[in-house]
Amino acid sequence: TGFIAEEYPDGFHGVPLSDDRAMKLAAIAVFMNEVHAARAVQISGQLANRPRTLPEEWVVAVDDWSRRVRAEETSGGLRVIFLDDAGNRTESHLVRSQWRPGQAVFRGEIDGDPMVVEIWRAKQGYRLRYRGAAAHAAVRTLTGHRLNQLMPEKVAPDTSKMLLCPMPG
């Protein structure tokens, strides 16, 4: 049948991501980043005279937008606090989960609402899929985010004048 071609002439790219869902996925990305970072701090064989510490603030980017965040551990989970450009609190979400690095599915709660998110580790961050919406989320230091904005976008090579054929075997 031609259902996909007829209904989605430009291809199917998933459900559009609402602002509320983007904020929740950002909070999950910060939670996963904190778990990874806390584990990295405890790796043995590090220099004794320079203990590794975690930054107080991060920048979380979900697809095209980014926000400054602060993560605070509480007895009930991880409080992810979103900040404006001046460093003032705009909103926060409480993330609770038993998620550990290597698990392909995040099962937890955000502000008491259950969430199940499929996860893929990407070169810079995570690929997240939730209720048909797919997003790329990256958590960086303030300096890392500022430098990442200076990086040029990689342009795909023009293969229109090349003969491309499958490799036999």
Residue 128: exposure state from Cβ atoms within 10 A (0-12, 13-18, ≥19): buried
Domain-located, residue 114: yes
Domain-located, residue 118: yes
* 95 in Cβ contact with 104 (< 8 Å): no
CATH code for the domain of 123 = 3.30.700.30
Domain-located, residue 153: no
Domain-located, residue 86: yes
Domain-located, residue 72: yes
Domains: count for the chain: 1
User: What is the domain extent for residue 103?
Assistant: 19-44+51-148
Domain-located, residue 8: no
**pLDDT score at 169:** 62
Domain-located, residue 157: no
pTM above 0.75, yes or no: yes
Per-residue pLDDT of the chain (169 residues; tens, 9 = 90+): 788 888 888 877 778 888 899 999 999 999 999 998 888 877 777 777 777 777 889 999 999 889 999 999 998 899 999 999 888 999 999 999 999 999 999 999 999 999 999 999 888 889 999 998 999 999 999 999 999 989 988 888 888 888 888 777 6
Domain-located, residue 40: yes
